[in-house]
Structure 1
Amino acid sequence: MGTALIVEDSLTEREIISQCLQRAGLSVSIAVSGEEALEKLNISLPDVIVLDVVLPGLSGFEICRTLKAEDRTSNIPVIICSTKNTDMDKFWGKRQGADAYIPKPIDQETLVNTVKQLIKS
């Protein structure tokens, strides 16, 4: 189906998201910080990025803004998955360029459907 980069510092959340997407047929790579994610993106570009907001170093919002501002990465769909779940958080995520915002704990069916929809478009 495609490739996904998961940027998540929580081992538990990383495992849940990773296994969910692998069961859906995606190849998954992992980054535990924004800086590691940017390094991995210099090597290869995924079909979708699943991004936490609260990360060591750069926040998910900062990473999203950076990705959407660069020609090389601007077309990669970004799904923010976060415990930050207020309307303002969702609004701010969209303002940074996120293509979708899914609150934690994630609904796995929603995540898979969102990924499939974004990879198709």
Structure 2
Amino acid sequence: MVSTPHVPERTCIGCRCKAPRAQLLRLALTDSGELTVDARALMPGRGAWIHPDPACVDLAERRRAFGRALRMRGSPDVAPVRDWIRTNAVNHVRTPAPPPDRGRQTDSKGG
């Protein structure tokens, strides 16, 4: 039996696509209630995940997903996220996840 390692998946709050956790950014609220990028994914509390792509940030902002995902009233200021993506997004490449390899092979009879 072929075993594959478990890869945690999260859902982007912008495009609503699932992706491996390593391809997404975790967003969290600071103690003062400001939105920040949790690049190491270690901050305590509720977080939201988003692709490091300005299009996903636009979608999430248009859908008012930041406040909903972080369970806060209103929408937070998204400027720190945009700034982080503008300066650091070179290291995060949005690539589609390969289909899962279930280790199965079929013969000509479908079995």
Q: Same fold (TM over 0.5)?
A: no
> Is the helix fraction higher in 1 or 2?
1
When normalised by structure 1's length, the TM-score is: 0.27
When normalised by structure 2's length, the TM-score is: 0.29
Quick one: higher RCO (CA 8 Å, sep 6+), 1 or 2? Answer: 2
Instruction: Name the larger-Rg structure.
Output: 2
